[in-house]
Structure 1
């Protein structure tokens, strides 16, 4: 589930904002205690993509805390 690419036996995947939101909503739906972020340095901390700084972390935070964007 989520964005990925493959060729033969090689593959790569990543989480975009929509996928992070889906996963955070899953955490809530199962009543889990929280979520873990594997690598903080892979988020867009400089806002290079033009959405906001730390869009992935902020999305997880908003969903788990019930905040609107």
Structure 2
């Protein structure tokens, strides 16, 4: 613990990176679906991935605007 930072400021240093978190969840879910159901078309999987990444970006933008 750094002595020049008080406890309240030290707790606010780490914030959740929503884009990284949701992108990881989307890729893990797509991988699970692709492994468990290989008959799914790659075009459908690509559409789901792009839509999921777009949603993750939207959530990250909204979270950043709420923080300010």
By the TM > 0.5 criterion, same fold?
no
TM-score by length of 2: 0.26
Higher helix share: 2
TM-score by length of 1: 0.26
Q: Which structure has the larger Rg over C-alpha atoms?
A: 2
